[in-house]
C-alpha cells in the first residue's frame, strides 16, 4: 500500500474517479496544465485532456454557476476554488442555487457537484489566504460539508463526495497538504460521509475536532497521557450532515468534552457541538464543555502562531475539564 501525502491522496482520488467515470470534470483557476497553485490537479490535463480538466477565468461565481449547470445536465463537476477565502463571490450560487435545487424542483433535479477548496492557516498566508469559513456552509440545508484530516480519508471522502447526489463543499486543510503522510489504498474506495473517526481512544476526556486540528489534539493527548489522563480524539470528518448520535455517544463515554477548531470562536462550529451535548447529554457531563478556537479577529500574519490553537492550549483545556 503506497504512502502518500494528503495532497497526493487528493490527486490520486481525482485520477481514480475520473478513470472510472467519464462524466467527472475538473476545472478552476490554474488547475489545468499548471496543476493548481498547490499541484492538487497535477497531471490531470495530461491524462484526460483539456475537455475534462481545464482552466477557467478568474470568476468564482462563474465557476460555481457553470458547475451547477453541468450537474443539472448529467455531468459530475469538481470545481476548485483556489483558496477558501475567495469563495465568497460564489456564495449566492452555492447557498441560494446549488443547495436549494433539489427542494425547489420537488426532487426533479439534483446538483451532484463538489467544490474543492483549501482552507485554514499554518502556511503564513496572512488574512486573505488563511480563513476557515466552514460554519457559513454548515448553516445551509441542502449542502454537505466534508473536511478530511488524513491521506486515507482525503481520497475516500473525496470519491464519496463526487459520487454523492447532492452538492458537497470539500474543504482541504492546506497546513497538512505536505506535512502529513499515511497509507492510502490503490484503486477506488470510499469513506462513508457523515461518519466519525476515533483517531485516539481514551476514557477520561473527549476532544472533538476536524481538519488540521486533529494532529494538534493528538499531540495534546499524548502529553496528557504522561499525567495519567486518557484522552479520546474524535475526528468529525463530515460537519454537515453531522453524525449526531456518534457525537453524543463519544461525549457520554467520558463525561468531559473539549471542542477544537481554528475558526473564530463566536458562532463557530464548536458552538453546535456544545449545544447538541447540552440538549441531549447534559446528565452525563461531569464538567462544562470547553471550546479551544481561533480568536474573534481577522486572521493575523506575524501572529499566526498565537492565533491558531496549539497543543499547549488544548492541554490546558483537557486538564481543566478533567479536574473540574
Residues recognised as catalytic:
129
| Secondary structure E strands in 174-319 | 181-183, 197-200, 205-209, 231-235, 238-240, 257-264, 290-294
237: left (phi over 0), alpha (psi -120 to 50) or beta: left
Beta-carbon neighbour count of residue 61 at 10 Å?
15
Can you name the residues that pair with 235 across neighbouring β-strands?
Answer: 197, 209
Burial of 186 from C-beta contacts in 10 A (0-12 / 13-18 / 19+): exposed
Sign of CA dihedral 298, 300, 301, 307: negative
CA 39, distance to chain mean position in Å, is 19
CB 174 within 8 A of CB 5: no
Q: Which residue, 207, 187, 205, 188, is CA-closest to 197?
A: 207
CB 114 within 8 A of CB 17: no
Give the gyration radius of the chain's Cα atoms.
19
Backbone phi, psi, residue 90, to 5°: -100, 10
C-alpha cell at 70: 453541468
Amino acid at each position: 500500500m503506497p504512502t502518500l501525502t494528503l495532497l497526493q491522496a487528493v490527486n490520486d482520488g481525482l485520477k481514480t474517479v475520473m478513470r472510472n467515470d467519464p462524466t467527472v470534470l475538473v476545472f478552476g483557476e490554474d488547475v489545468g496544465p499548471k496543476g493548481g497553485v498547490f499541484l492538487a490537479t497535477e497531471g490531470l490535463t495530461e491524462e484526460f485532456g483539456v475537455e475534462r480538466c481545464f482552466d477557467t477565468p478568474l470568476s468564482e461565481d462563474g465557476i460555481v454557476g457553470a458547475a451547477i449547470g453541468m450537474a443539472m445536465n448529467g455531468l459530475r463537476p469538481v470545481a476548485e476554488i483556489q483558496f477558501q477565502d475567495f469563495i465568497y463571490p460564489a456564495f449566492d450560487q452555492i447557498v441560494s442555487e446549488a443547495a436549494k435545487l433539489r427542494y425547489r424542483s420537488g426532487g426533479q433535479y439534483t446538483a451532484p457537484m463538489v467544490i474543492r477548496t483549501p482552507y485554514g492557516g499554518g502556511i503564513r498566508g496572512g488574512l486573505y489566504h488563511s480563513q476557515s469559513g466552514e460554519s457559513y456552509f454548515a448553516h445551509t440545508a441542502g449542502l454537505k460539508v466534508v473536511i478530511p484530516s488524513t491521506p486515507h480519508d482525503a481520497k475516500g471522502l473525496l470519491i464519496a463526495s463526487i459520487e454523492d447526489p447532492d452538492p458537497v463543499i470539500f474543504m482541504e486543510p492546506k497546513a497538512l497538504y505536505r506535512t502529513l503522510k499515511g497509507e492510502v489504498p490503490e484503486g477506488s474506495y470510499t469513506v462513508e460521509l457523515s461518519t466519525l473517526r476515533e483517531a485516539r481512544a481514551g476514557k477520561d476526556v473527549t476532544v472533538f475536532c476536524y481538519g488540521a486540528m486533529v494532529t494538534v489534539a493528538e499531540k495534546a493527548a499524548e502529553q496528557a497521557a504522561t499525567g495519567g489522563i486518557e484522552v479520546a480524539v474524535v475526528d468529525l470528518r463530515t460537519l454537515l450532515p453531522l453524525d449526531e448520535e456518534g457525537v453524543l455517544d463519544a461525549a457520554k463515554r467520558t463525561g468531559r468534552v473539549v471542542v477544537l477548531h481554528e475558526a473564530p470562536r463566536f458562532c463557530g462550529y464548536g458552538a453546535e457541538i456544545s449545544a447538541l451535548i447540552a440538549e441531549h447529554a447534559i446528565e452525563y457531563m461531569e464538567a462544562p464543555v470547553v471550546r479551544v478556537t481561533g480568536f474573534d479577529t481577522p486572521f493575523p500574519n506575524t501572529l499566526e502562531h498565537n492565533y491558531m490553537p496549539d497543543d499547549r492550549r488544548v492541554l490546558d483545556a483537557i486538564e481543566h475539564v478533567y479536574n473540574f
